[in-house]
């Protein structure tokens, strides 16, 4: 049938009884059926009473759709008998397009917002020539940037949230003394932290920070307080004077601990030295105090992360105690040897932790002038020196390093000479001296 508005003779059909039976099977009233079909109550009433002999095909189709049956099932007339037996597919249960379109649009919007959020919270960054550029994590579009002076030197993701970046700066302006936490997606400053400069001046004198600026020399994450969220460890150096300042900073930018060294720190390592489940910080470098200039190693922990490298020999009247766990100073060789090496002082760098045959942890460091490796210094976990192994290359080039009068049986290649020199090591610290305000040096001499 091509015209759904044409009238069909239903006089011979059993439509009234079938219509009533189908309606009552569904527990519908005549009003309910009228509402389901969009027909009038009068039409349903008259059809069930058999008052109508003719009906539009459209009416039959609406009734079949309401009952979710075919026209032959509604009329009881097999399909295809004559032109009056019109068929229709069984209606499918589906949402009208007027509902589907908004749902699809909402899903697409939610997916877009989710992707945008991921792109922002996982933004990528790059530092070139002290210029930081942060880009969208998906499309790569530029989100924000920070340049000089001074520009960022270090950038890392905060251990407590991947939505926060931690920045350390170079030192051409006072900005270099700052550590900043910024929102990864927008660059908004969350907090700014810096060393306790008054404590540094109290340790080494009022002029120790004059004539230059601090800058971030190293930036890493630790978890000394074992809360599972992590903290920031920031190392600052001065552009002209000696202090190296190690700062322990929490998630809110608070300074949890600070240790100032009379010289630079080269390397930092977090490890559990004594196996008690608590990590320690090992910092290696140099101590340029004239009284005992030489390589230095400092161990700090959660309870001993304060003070400065002051003692009864160096800054004995300092207002800051040496409250580290333990500090080692290995003095320089006698001056003729240092002059021949063209070096002012020794350094310890590149920390290695290893286990001895009895299962105890020990430490090893590269040892020598800053740009000249002499050998490997070994110490136990209390920072007591175990020996200095000279590098083969250094021994092979000894004649180039020292004049003939210094190359004798009692020089650096003589184990007895090395042992005597190494026995002049000095150790300080709160634990060594039972938290004394001004520790006295301890030595094997």
Task: Identify the pLDDT of residue 445.
Answer: 33
Fold of 7-75: 434 Repressor (Amino-terminal Domain) (1.10.260)
Residues 6+ apart with CB under 8 A from 316: 310, 438
Q: Residue 80: left if φ>0, alpha if ψ -120 to 50, beta else—which one? A: left
Sheet harboring 255-261: ordered strands across?
A: 214-222, 231-238, 244-249, 255-261
Per residue in 299-321, pLDDT tens? Answer: 999 999 999 999 999 999 898 99
Residue 433, pLDDT > 60, answer no
Task: Identify the pLDDT of residue 7.
Answer: 75
Task: Identify the pLDDT of residue 114.
Answer: 65
Task: Identify the pLDDT of residue 300.
Answer: 96
Give percent of the chain above pLDDT 90. 47
| 109, 102 contact by CB (below 8 A) | no
Minimum mean pLDDT among 79-83, 240-244, 286-290, 333-337: which range? 79-83
Mean pLDDT highest for which of 104-108, 211-215, 402-406?
211-215
Diameter of the chain by CA atoms? 136
Question: What mean pLDDT do residues 327-350 have?
Answer: 92
Task: Identify the pLDDT of residue 25.
Answer: 83
pLDDT band at 432 (very low <50, low <70, confident <90, very high): low
Question: What mean pLDDT do residues 89-105 have?
Answer: 61
Residues 6+ apart with CB under 8 A from 114: none
pLDDT band at 22 (very low <50, low <70, confident <90, very high): confident
Q: Which helix (H) or strand (E) holds 3?
A: none
When comparing pLDDT for 101 and 202, which is higher?
202
pLDDT band at 118 (very low <50, low <70, confident <90, very high): low
Dist CA 198 CA 209 (whole Å): 10
Place of tokens 């070139």: 128
Task: Identify the pLDDT of residue 443.
Answer: 41
CATH 1.10.260.40 residue ranges in the chain? Answer: 7-75
Mean pLDDT highest for which of 16-30, 55-69, 200-214, 393-407?
200-214
Give the global pTM: 0.71
When comparing pLDDT for 220 and 123, which is higher?
220
Question: What mean pLDDT do residues 209-223 have?
Answer: 94
Hey, what are 66's tokens? 């309401």
Instruction: Give me the residues paired with residue 443 across strands.
Output: none
Residue 92, pLDDT > 60, answer no
Task: Identify the pLDDT of residue 2.
Answer: 47
Task: Identify the pLDDT of residue 167.
Answer: 96
Task: Identify the pLDDT of residue 32.
Answer: 85
When comparing pLDDT for 119 and 153, which is higher?
153
Distances (CA, A) of 329 to 203, 272, 326, 368: 18, 22, 10, 13
When comparing pLDDT for 320 and 122, which is higher?
320
DSSP symbols for 416-435: HHHHHHHTT-EEE-TTTTTT
Compute the C-alpha angle 330/327/203, nearest 5°.
105
When comparing pLDDT for 179 and 91, which is higher?
179
Question: What mean pLDDT do residues 64-70 have?
Answer: 84
Q: Residue 194: left if φ>0, alpha if ψ -120 to 50, beta else—which one? A: beta
Q: Helix (H, G, I), strand (E, B), or coil: what is residue 317?
A: coil
Mean pLDDT highest for which of 85-99, 377-391, 418-432?
377-391
Comparing CA positions, the residue from 70, 52, 71, 41 lying closest to residue 7 is 52
DSSP symbols for 265-315: EEEEEEE-SSSSS--EEEEEEEE--TTS-EEEEEEEBTTB--BBS--SSSS
Residue 434, pLDDT > 90, answer no
| 270, 278 contact by CB (below 8 A) | no
Residue 263, pLDDT > 70, answer yes
pLDDT band at 441 (very low <50, low <70, confident <90, very high): very low
Residue 1, pLDDT > 60, answer no
Task: Identify the pLDDT of residue 3.
Answer: 54
Average model confidence (pLDDT) for the chain?
A: 85
Task: Identify the pLDDT of residue 44.
Answer: 84
When comparing pLDDT for 367 and 226, which is higher?
367
| 203, 307 contact by CB (below 8 A) | yes
Task: Identify the pLDDT of residue 438.
Answer: 33
């Amino acid at each position: 049938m091509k015209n759904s508005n044409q009238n069909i003779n239903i006089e011979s059909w059993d439509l009234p009884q079938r219509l009533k039976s189908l309606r009552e099977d569904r527990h519908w009233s005549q009003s309910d059926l009228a509402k389901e079909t969009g027909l009038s109550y009068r039409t349903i009433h008259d059809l069930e009473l058999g008052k109508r002999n003719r009906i539009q095909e459209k009416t039959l189709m609406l009734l079949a759709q309401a009952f979710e049956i075919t026209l032959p099932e509604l009329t009881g007339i097999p399909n295809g008998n004559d032109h009056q037996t019109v068929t229709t597919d069984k209606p499918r249960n589906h949402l009208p397009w007027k509902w589907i379109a908004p749902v699809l649009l909402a899903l697409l919007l939610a997916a877009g917002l989710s992707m945008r959020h991921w792109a922002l919270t996982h933004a990528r960054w790059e530092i070139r020539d002290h210029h930081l550029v942060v880009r969208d994590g998906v499309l790569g579009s530029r989100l924000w940037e920070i340049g000089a002076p001074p520009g960022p030197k270090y950038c890392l993701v905060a251990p407590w949230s991947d939505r926060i970046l931690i920045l350390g700066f170079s030192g051409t302006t006072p900005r270099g003394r700052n550590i900043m936490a910024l929102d990864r997606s927008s660059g908004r400053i969350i907090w700014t932290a810096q060393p306790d400069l008054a404590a540094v001046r109290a340790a080494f004198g009022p002029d120790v920070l004059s004539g230059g600026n601090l800058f971030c020399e190293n930036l890493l994450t630790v978890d000394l307080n074992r809360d599972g969220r992590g903290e920031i460890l920031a190392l600052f150096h001065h552009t002209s004077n000696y202090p190296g300042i190690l700062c322990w900073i929490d998630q809110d930018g608070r300074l949890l601990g600070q240790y100032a060294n009379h010289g630079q720190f080269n390397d930092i390592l977090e490890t559990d030295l004594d196996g008690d489940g608590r990590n320690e910080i090992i910092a290696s470098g140099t101590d340029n105090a004239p009284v005992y200039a030489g390589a230095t190693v400092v161990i700090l922990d959660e309870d001993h992360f304060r003070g400065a490298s002051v003692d009864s020999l160096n800054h004995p009247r300092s207002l800051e105690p040496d409250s580290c766990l333990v500090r080692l100073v290995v003095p320089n060789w006698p001056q003729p040897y240092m002059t021949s090496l063209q070096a002012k002082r020794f350094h310890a760098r590149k920390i290695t932790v290893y286990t001895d045959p009895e299962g105890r942890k020990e430490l090893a460091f590269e040892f020598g002038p800053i740009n000249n490796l002499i050998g490997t210094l070994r110490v136990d976990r209390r920072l007591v020196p175990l020996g200095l192994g000279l590098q083969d290359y250094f021994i092979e080039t000894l004649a180039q390093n020292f004049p003939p009068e210094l190359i004798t049986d009692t020089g650096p290649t003589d184990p007895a000479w090395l042992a005597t020199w190494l026995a002049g090591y000095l150790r300080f610290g709160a634990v060594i001296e039972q938290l004394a305000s001004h520790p006295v040096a301890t030595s094997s001499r």
